Structure 1
Amino acid sequence: MATTPRLVLREWETAHASDHPVLHNLWTTHPDLERDARRLREGNALRVEDGRQGVSIKAQRHVGVVRLGPLHVTVQPRLAHADLWYILEYGLGIDRLDRPPPVDLLLPEASFADLIALALLEKTKRLSRRGPRRGYARQEEWLSQLRGRIDITCTEKAMPLTRASLPCIHHILSTDIPENRMVRAGLKLAAQAAYSPGLKAELAKLERSWSELCGSLMLDTATLRQMSRELTRLTADYAPILRLITLLHEGRGMSDTLEILTPGQERLPGFLWDMASLFERFVERFLREHLKSASVSRQKPIEGLYEVVRAPRGFSARNREPRPDILLEREGQVVAVLDTKYKDFKDDYLDRNSLYQMSVYAVAHAPSDAATMPVPVIVLYPRANATSADDVVYAFKHGRQGRQSPIIVRGIDWSRASQALRNPARHNELATIAEEWTRTEE
């Protein structure tokens, strides 16, 4: 039996045919490869190109596993697994998972989906030990004795042959509720997305046990968002499980672009998840908890920057306002705008579109008072062993009275922050790290 050719990359790494024989003649021998490569490129997941010596594959900010023609491609994060495990917990608010993992992962081949699936397995087992929530489920049935209330909308056609019964509407206490159905569907999804056989078996076993408690449901974006909105104090235990299932669902779709399939087109098999979301969530929570000099707001829209003067009938201007990732405020005034960019700035280069975006933020928060200092805009991106010497500073010129707003491109070592968070002896570093990330130029 022929083995599946495999290729393991790290974020931003490029594999060339000259170094990987599995990439030789791949383009010509598999006609569907060009189509799949185009879809991955449009979703900013992988860049697959055909060259003189063969195919080259460049990983970007997506991590996980994808099947590309006959090739099994794994993209691993640059972070060490210990750091990634903790960052995943901290960024998503699913702290204090048990260690060591209850099943073996096939490292380094295991994908990012395995870590999420492993976290889901542990959280679901913990919920099972406490006991799944019960709720009242509506029942409509014919009974010989009245229970609940009579269904007066029941028609003569729906009546059974015997009239010695009544159409009743009543509620029974049951585990077959939407929250438990979501858990079961998530376990099934995780078993499909995971790569390590031991983990897949554990997930499938747990899913079978939940099948005795409840039915399942179809997971889609609308359903997951609705369940997130409807979380209450009574269903708080399901919140971290819902976040993990949402991540798995996003990764299976790979991107908004890749979810738009033409008729007859199949979804690419695999799991690729955008690390930019995790980076933003980690940075926002870290600053909110450890920055002492300012308060932190996330995704706060800049209102009043644009006004629709004329538009066709039916045009909606909703969600047109710019939304910086993070705003730092002091006494109700914005003192800095932060934007996270999960990119590989080898030469500290900020692309044109990103620079234009930061310029809009600078204009939006430019003070009308000439005596007030302009609000700085800080771009944060991941960089190991980053120092202040690595900062790149632009000066955005407002064109009046020579005023300028600084745009600072700054690498931050979130691995260092992760290590300080999980080591009580280093907790005194946390406030210092937060200040370093948000410092402005003098």
Structure 2
Amino acid sequence: MTLDRNQALRWSGSLFAMALAAGGTGYWIGHGGGSPAPMAASTAGGRQPLYYYDPMFPNQKFDQPGKSPFMDMQLVPKYADEGGAAGPAGVTIDPAARQSLGIRVVAAQMGSLAGTLDVTGTVDFNQRDVAIVQARSGGFVQRVYARAPGDVVRAGTPIADLLLPDWGGAQTEFLSVKRLGRPDLTAAARQRLKLMGMSDGLIAGVERSGRPNGVVTITTPISGVIQTLDARQGVTLATGQTLAQVSGLGTVWLNAAVPEARAGDVRIGQNASATLTSFPGESFAGRVIAILPTAQADSRTLTVRIELANRGGRLRPGMFANVSLGGDARPALLVPSEAVIRTGTRTLVMLAAADGRYHPAEVRAGRDAGGQTEILAGLAVGEKVVASGQFLLDSEASLTGIQVRPIGGGQ
């Protein structure tokens, strides 16, 4: 069919308008310093695309243009000569497409990173507050009181009555020497009783009564919980045999699990506070008394030991607690934690240039707190980083081979 000149012009104008409409419905993405290319076009300025791809799945390449099998959008052409000499290579996105991709840009700025470290821990006995009840002489258990492991007892609570023949014989000798009226011999005999383990109260009672007392009541020296109890009626005892073990409850230990990456933020003497679900709205103050020298291999955490006062014995070993370790806040260069890309071998951020291009930069990250990450090196105050949608840009940059700005590179 033959068209006259006017018909041909009208036909060409219609095709041009349709192409503009098709290109306007998509969004634009490219890299380099040149102008962005329309996503739906198969050629641009006579250039032949290398392949086509979906920006949401940049690793998938297609030979022909068309609609993405993954998303409801047209495939994007990739050209060999994209980029330019106007500046460093980078990923370019049309402004109209930024909202669709959810890209959000923020500036790195100086701030004060929260000095607290929030971790978890469990309450344990204070292993330094332990009393061992032993038999100071060989003998027999004459009587046991109604006690059992796990009982909470006060200081002076009787455990068992022991019949100690050696003590009875030594007391008889002491009384005989005392009747001689020789102060020096009496003092020596009294000292012998002390060396055998008799208390001053027991010796004074023997002196007052004038009769030996070979039956001794063993009591708990501290208040706490009975951990072990081996006193049984009629049992023969050897010198030094353990009858009971009592753990004090006046103070308890709180073993907090601190990630090894935050080990540098903890020091001995540091203040700490703990909250427990058992006591809502109440906080227990303590301080760090030790940082154990070994790390837990399964959780990669350090055990930080915190000592807490246990008024009324309300804190019970085994309870779970949320722990806040206080620290001094210091100025730092901060970016949102979501802007940091950790690859396992290095840490990156996507920089947003003034001309609309994006390119990766390597950084050295520090502490994280309150949704902010400290940047120790690789970034300057005021530089803009992508806080949302950065993984798409990083994939595009990796796909096109854009060089990562190293730490210490030009700002």
- Give the TM-score category using the shorter length: under 0.3
Name the structure with the higher strand share: 2
Q: Which has the larger radius of gyration?
A: 2
TM-score by length of 1: 0.23
Name the structure with the higher helix share: 1
Larger RCO of the pair (alpha carbons < 8 Å, separation 6+): 2
TM-score by length of 2: 0.24
